[in-house]
Structure 1
Amino acid sequence: MSTVTASSCVEDAVNRRSADLIALSHDIHAEPELSFAEHRSCAKTQALVAERGFAVTAAPGGLDTAFRAEFGSGSLVIGVCAEYDALPGLGHACGHNIIAASAVGTALALAEVADELDLTVVLLGTPAEEAGGGKVLLLNAGVFDDIAASVMLHPGPADMAAARSLALTEVAVTYTGRESHAAVAPHLGVNAGDAVTVAQVAIGLLRQQLTPGQMVHGIVTHGGEATNVIPAHTELRYTMRATDMASLQALESRMAGCFSAGAVATGCTHEVRETAPPYDALAPDPYLAEVFRAEMIRNGRHPLPAELEAALPLGSTDMGNVTQLLPGIHPVVGIDAGGATLHQQEFAAAAAGPSADKAVVDGSIMLARTVVALAQNTVERDRVLAAQARRRAS
């Protein structure tokens, strides 16, 4: 099958299923579910590929809301990642309904050419991207071991072919002191609320010395029980981000001092624990990113220049861990949200609007045609297969 024929075939396949894909996007959007609780969304995402004849494995890696759906028996195994978790209080303000539907569209399209291109198509349902690191857990469980390259996309306010991200760590910090009556015997209390205040002041002062690319942000998740009781138990949650893992580790060390300061100043004890696996930075595969860029332009889109993309990291994602281990891309497909951006209510509303529906269809076509290009380029196909062989031998 020629490149032109295969590319046209996958595009036609997406267009034929466009109504089903848009309906899937809207259905997931209408019933948002949080990390590790995406039971309905998980079932919806696998339904269309199961009907097409994909062999579905439930709960790979022991994750109840993950799945692996496989079609074909080719030597080049391509993973297409679907996300479907939502945000507390904001629903699909990150547009994961678009991610899930476009992943399904990509998988369905590639199934049409799997035999001719010697492909195995694997649709992976990856839960808990917003909180929990589902892809990291699946990586650690070996679910990606047989996959040579992995693709997915994310909606956003602009088109980006080689999107970047920041490495991330999330921690919970608990302080333990001693209760006492705030008026009768405050001197007998050990104030865990004050420990929170001292830590946050220290973090605020640290910000002026942060290395470029480092960020910290957090909330108080528990501050006490009553105003007339010296609080004995409090908790902070903080996210730390940096351009790479080395910078992130340096930031973690400095933040540890701020957390300790709260305990030292008040006489509390404290504990710091990670709430999810660390997220690494995205490392988009240059070949796949440039093919996707060309597909964006072919579809009348206007991706940001590569040098600007590199300077505008898009938050953090557990797909970064995947791209650090195997060739992959995580491009951003723009939708019209009226100037709103990710994690805003207006973006959640736009994620089920006309431009979001177009992103589902365009994204499916662009990802599928990118995989076709990889499968039919002998040099690049051999490159990713050789890289996979080295990983499996190590």
Structure 2
Amino acid sequence: MKELIRKYHDEIISLNDFMADNPEIGGEEQEASRRMVELLRRHGIPVEYPFAGMETAFRGIINKGKARKAAILVEYDALRGLGHACGHCASGSISILAALVLNEVRDQIPAEIHVIGTPDEEMHGGKVPMVKSGVFDGMDFAVMIHMSNKNALFSRFLALDAYKFTFHGKPAHASSIPWEGRNALNSIRLFFDAMDMMRQHLKDDVRLHGYVVKGGDASNIVPHHTEAEVLVRAEKREYLDQVSKWVMDCAQAAALATRTSWSVEEIGEKYDSLRRNISGEKILEEIYTELGLNLVDTSSETGGSSDIGNVSSVCPAFHPYLDLGKDLNAHTEEFALAMKTNRTHKAISLGGEIISRFVMDVYNTPGAREEILKEYGGDGDE
């Protein structure tokens, strides 16, 4: 397998470095998706592109016609303002590398391997409409690897709701006739204060955060149109629904107090938390250990959110991490700048080997696939 990793090394590193230099935000990943698709097709993997109603999504299938099936997830969107500070150029390259390697040994795999390009993970969640349309139905599992400052097998992803709140007031000259105006900036300030007052009475896993997108037009005009982006997270979807309802009450109360009006829209899909699967993690642990990678237990740490949580609602899903160095934290400029370094290039090769070996081990170790599905609650029988 290492020989196959080396075979595709230069092409994969070129892909990663191009994406690092040319970041594209969610839904706009034209060049990244095109280059990934061209690479897969060049090496004999048929690809549907566009896919699932999304212009930058794709699906390649290895071993088409096999009864079983599994998915390798490919991410490639960048962060607004920070480029590939989440490392999707590297994690996406890992998945493509694994697909090329597995295509070489496809005769040893008794399953279809779906290589699924999933756009816009950072904001709108491209995997969610795929889940809703049945793309992952019947999968034995889905897997990808994310970059981090530690090696870990599981992330305690939180369920997520994302909203844009708009407050509508009435403009007036802020000095001569302020009483004629209705201040939408006051509305948004009260709204954030009200959410802050919620925190004392929320469970520890809840996260509330956001920012003012628009606070007004001029200092001498009573602000009549303001906007805020707010993310609401919690470990359990049922509790998150209650918290989000409370946030709506805060917005309504702020508008009532300032005699303005308000509206809200969802700015992304609702993310679910990630279901854990210990049976699959044991296989990953053996691979990490054999590769000399020291693991950190992150199961009790609160993480971010990802649309892979929704994938785990219909099939076992795995989202392990690869260490790029303890001095690097995701969603920072330093993380983005590290994407073309030797340690990231080395991690890409390691990641491609981990996913390839995981797929092979699940299907070629007696009982492994069945144990994963049994723990998940599905049917592991033939």
TM-score, normalisation: structure 1:
0.92
Give the Cα separation in 1 of the matches to 2:301 and 2:6: 32
What one-letter code is carried by the residue in structure 1 that aligns with 2:30? Answer: H
Unaligned stretches of 5+ in structure 1? 1-9
Shift of 1:388: 10
Shift of 1:224: 0.8
Tell me which residue corresponds to 1:122. 114
Give the Cα separation in 1 of the matches to 2:280 and 2:192: 42
Tell me which residue corresponds to 2:279. 287
Q: Which of 229, 238, 249 is the aligned partner of 2:241?
A: 249
Tell me which residue corresponds to 1:349. 337
Checking the alignment, whether the CA contact within 8 Å between 2:168 and 2:260 is kept in structure 1 is yes
Give the Cα separation in 2 of the matches to 1:323 and 1:354: 33
Give the Cα separation in 1 of the matches to 2:175 and 2:343: 59
Tell me which residue corresponds to 1:6. none
Seen in structure 2, the aligned counterparts of structure 1 residues 293 and 389 have a Cα distance that, compared at 3 Å, is closer
Determine whether 1:266 maps to 2:255: no
Secondary structure of the residue aligned to 1:93 is: coil
Shift of 1:384: 5.9
Structure 2 matches for 1:150-299, cutoff 5 A?
150-299=142-291
Checking the alignment, whether the CA contact within 8 Å between 2:279 and 2:371 is kept in structure 1 is no
Determine whether 1:327 maps to 2:327: no
Give the Cα separation in 1 of the matches to 2:358 and 2:88: 21
Secondary structure of the residue aligned to 1:250 is: helix
Q: Which moved more, 1:150-159 or 1:18-27?
A: 18-27
Determine whether 1:48 maps to 2:36: no
What one-letter code is carried by the residue in structure 2 that aligns with 1:335? Answer: L
Percent identity (aligned):
29
Tell me which residue corresponds to 2:100. 108
Give the Cα separation in 2 of the matches to 1:289 and 1:343: 26
Shift of 1:163: 2.3
Give the Cα separation in 1 of the matches to 2:126 and 2:51: 11
1:65-102 CA distance string (max 9 Å, x none): 10001121322212101100001111000000011110
1:89-145 CA distance string (max 9 Å, x none): 110000000111100011111112222221212111100000111000111222223
What one-letter code is carried by the residue in structure 2 that aligns with 1:175? Answer: F
Determine whether 1:316 maps to 2:305: yes
Checking the alignment, whether the CA contact within 8 Å between 1:296 and 1:366 is kept in structure 2 is yes
Tell me which residue corresponds to 1:60. 51
Give the Cα separation in 1 of the matches to 2:363 and 2:337: 37
Superposition CA RMSD, Å = 1.8
What one-letter code is carried by the residue in structure 1 that aligns with 2:221? Answer: V
What one-letter code is carried by the residue in structure 2 that aligns with 1:320? Answer: G
Shift of 1:263: 0.4
Q: Which of 8, 16, 21 is the aligned partner of 1:17?
A: 8
What one-letter code is carried by the residue in structure 2 that aligns with 1:153? Answer: I
Give the Cα separation in 1 of the matches to 2:245 and 2:84: 33
1:177-227 CA distance string (max 9 Å, x none): 111111121111111111001111111222222211101110101111111
Instruction: Give the number of aligned pairs.
Output: 378
Secondary structure of the residue aligned to 2:156 is: coil
Larger helix proportion, structure 1 or 2? 1
1:155-182 CA distance string (max 9 Å, x none): 0110101222111111011111111111
Give the Cα separation in 1 of the matches to 2:335 and 2:376: 38
Shift of 1:257: 1.9
Q: Which moved more, 1:124-133 or 1:313-322?
A: 313-322
Seen in structure 2, the aligned counterparts of structure 1 residues 286 and 339 have a Cα distance that, compared at 3 Å, is same
Give the Cα separation in 2 of the matches to 1:346 and 1:129: 21
Tell me which residue corresponds to 2:30. 39
Secondary structure of the residue aligned to 1:61 is: coil
1:306-333 CA distance string (max 9 Å, x none): xxx1111331110111112101200011
What one-letter code is carried by the residue in structure 2 that aligns with 1:51? Answer: R
Q: Which of 61, 71, 75 is the aligned partner of 2:62?
A: 71
Give the Cα separation in 1 of the matches to 2:378 and 2:55: 31
Checking the alignment, whether the CA contact within 8 Å between 2:279 and 2:372 is kept in structure 1 is no
Checking the alignment, whether the CA contact within 8 Å between 2:131 and 2:314 is kept in structure 1 is no
What one-letter code is carried by the residue in structure 1 that aligns with 2:21? Answer: A
Seen in structure 2, the aligned counterparts of structure 1 residues 313 and 114 have a Cα distance that, compared at 3 Å, is farther
Tell me which residue corresponds to 1:381. 369
Secondary structure of the residue aligned to 1:367 is: helix
Give the Cα separation in 1 of the matches to 2:68 and 2:265: 39
Structure 2 matches for 1:138-149, cutoff 5 A?
138-149=130-141
Seen in structure 2, the aligned counterparts of structure 1 residues 378 and 297 have a Cα distance that, compared at 3 Å, is closer
Give the Cα separation in 1 of the matches to 2:279 and 2:378: 19
Q: Which moved more, 1:70-79 or 1:53-62?
A: 70-79
1:20-71 CA distance string (max 9 Å, x none): 2222111111100011000001112222211111111012221001000112
Tell me which residue corresponds to 1:372. 360
Secondary structure of the residue aligned to 1:241 is: strand
Give the Cα separation in 2 of the matches to 1:389 and 1:196: 45
